[in-house]
Amino acid sequence: MTTVIDAVQELPDKELLSRHAQGDDQAFGELVRRHRERMWAVAIRVLGDSEEAADALQDAFLSAFRGAHRFRGEAQVSTWLHRIVINACHDRMRRKMVRPAVPTDDATLDVLSNERTRHTTPDPTGHSDSAMDVHAALGKLPEEQRMALVLVDMLGYRVDEASEILEIAPGTVKSRCARGRARLLPYLAHLRNPGSPRDVTSPRGGDRRS
Amino acid sequence: MTSHVDAETLALSAEGLLEEDEENAVRRHVLDCATCADQQAQLAEVSRVLAEVPAPPMPEALAARLDDALRAEGEARRASGPGGAPAVGSAPPPPGAANTANVVPLRRRRGFGANRWVNYLAVAAAAVVVVGGGSAVLHGLTTTGGEAGAPPAASAPSPGSSGEGDTALSYQPLLVSTATVYTEAELAAQAQSVLTENDPTSPGGTEGDTEGPAEANRPDPSAVPSEVSSCAHRLGPQAGGHPLLIDFAEFDSGSGPEEAWAMYFGTEPGGGTQKSYEVVVVPAGCAGDDPVLATAEAPAP
């Protein structure tokens, strides 16, 4: 991981993965450098917590490192990596017993939100309440809807890309997104118009930030 | 149309997922209904709000941490032999090894529910890495024993011995733990996904794999519950085949995930022509007169 010859940097992903599987010491490091920012973007949005996202990313890259021989040429390496990251996030969520598939009541949501406030590393870009609200709201979605929305709406993947990553039909991506948006609607309505009184638009009422 | 259109219908309409009749009805209603028109506009805003959520950039320390973790992993790999096969033979299973290579959660933190498996799954996971073919081969399931020194995975499902018509499991099922929480409704799709990642008929592996210290890392048959084998035999006739893949995972029947075994039965042990699998989920331990929690058919990847 110290010196990377130019040749390695020029190689396509698939070649790097194949070299890694054959014992090349440098190849995987280059793959990580290429993809870690993007994989971080996925993990942090799915999990909404820097510490969890970092753990998930490490899980995922170690998993990919060990499982490189499982990669089959049909998919893009980046698609394969996305799947591994999504799986790692899925597992983290399950271990944390944050179960989006089970409807949470508002008290649970507040607890989640507070926990994030306590544990999350300060956001250097300006920690925003709206980001917190969105993550709390995403936490109310069934996981499958959350994953689809993270990829399509938050990260801007095309439906066919998300379809390949999640290994579901494009129509399923669309319907999961649609149902997720409908479910998020009551929780995000106030963000659309920050000036409006929260008590009116928030389904929870009250001011949970106090 | 007198009643309002619910948000989900509006959202599905926006994606063009409604049947024509319903779509037309929605359009007509929205034209005349300010409430629903407003709802529709707000739905479009949801996507925008999501797109604009700021996310913290990747912490600098994480890049170094990833490098460190992978360097350690690489050293373990090198230490295990010059062949360069992806092996961790001499190293203890790293954090998260208690799982298959494609899904590696760390079990150390609040390892709720899964720890009982770790003892032998950690061993199995080491073998997954060593053999390289993605197959943790369990000789404990092969009642014929198999050849002790045979390369375990390069041709896992197709050993040389033709056990045709033999009631014994004369082939070697692939054992994995994907951390999937199976549900009845999603079983077919979940099974398909698991099969894609863990194709029991895939030869996989590379030349170097057969040279690794495979024997030392082979899962200890005594560490796998004996019920696995008897359960596979019990269910075989009913499922019309042989278990080719066994996933130590969980099943959620609506009251929370419970440990469960998903057995993938196929008719072609050792063959590359498997068309579909009969997936049977049973509770861990496989107890009871009728242990089957759910079944589904999944096409071969």
User: What's chain A look like in SS3?
Assistant: CCCCCHHHHHCCHHHHHHHHHCCCCCHHHHHHHHHHHHHHHHHHHHHCCHHHHHHHHHHHHHHHHHHHHHCCCCCCHHHHHHHHHHHHHHHHHHHCCCCCCCCCCHHHHHHHHHHHHHHCCCCCCCCCHHHHHHHHHHCCCCHHHHHHHHHHHHCCCCHHHHHHHHCCCHHHHHHHHHHHHHHHHHHHHHHHCCCCCHHHHCCCCCCCCC
A60 and A131 both lie in a single domain: no
A93 and A120 both lie in a single domain: no
Q: Which of B66, B129, B193, B252 to mutate to test the interface with A (most CBs of A within 10 A)?
A: B66
Given A65, A97, A129, the domain boundary residue is A97
* Orientation of helix B60-79 relative to helix A50-67, angle to 10°: 30
User: What pLDDT is stored for residue A32 in this prediction?
Assistant: 92
A88 and A172 both lie in a single domain: no
Contacts of B201 in chain A (CB under 8 A): none
* Partner A contacted by B25 (CB < 8 A): no
Closest listed residue to residue A50, CA positions, set A19, A92, A7, A8: A92
Q: Cβ B46–A188 below 8 Å, yes or no?
A: yes
Chain B segment 115-154 residues within 8 A of A by beta carbon are 128-129, 132-134
A121 and A71 both lie in a single domain: no
Given A48, A68, A97, the domain boundary residue is A97
Written as one letter, the residue type at A56 is: A
Number of domains within chain A:
2
A66 and A4 both lie in a single domain: yes
Chain A segment 46-75 residues within 8 A of B by beta carbon are 50, 54-55, 57-63, 65-70
Contacts of A83 in chain B (CB under 8 A): 102
Q: Which two tokens stand for residue A67?
A: 């499982």
User: Domain range holding A169?
Assistant: 102-210
Contacts of B54 in chain A (CB under 8 A): 123, 125-126, 128, 131
pLDDT interval class at A94 (50, 70, 90): confident
A80 and A31 both lie in a single domain: yes
A156 and A83 both lie in a single domain: no
- What's the CATH code of the domain at A69? 1.10.1740.10
What's the CA gap between B222 and A202, in Å, rounded? 57
CB atoms under 10 Å from CB of A97, counted, come to 11
* Partner A contacted by B299 (CB < 8 A): no
Given A73, A97, A121, the domain boundary residue is A97
The DSSP output letter for B130 is H
Per-residue pLDDT of chain B (301 residues; tens, 9 = 90+): 458 999 999 999 999 999 999 999 999 999 999 999 999 999 999 999 999 888 889 998 999 999 999 988 888 877 765 444 443 433 444 443 333 343 333 333 333 333 333 333 343 444 443 333 334 444 434 433 334 444 444 333 444 344 333 334 445 677 788 888 999 889 999 999 888 888 777 654 333 343 333 333 334 444 566 677 778 777 877 777 778 888 888 899 888 888 888 998 887 666 567 788 889 998 887 877 778 888 888 888 8
Q: Cβ B49–A178 below 8 Å, yes or no?
A: no
- What's the CATH code of the domain at A134? 1.10.10.10
A77 and A31 both lie in a single domain: yes
CB A59 within 8 A of CB A38: no
Q: Cβ A84–B88 below 8 Å, yes or no?
A: no
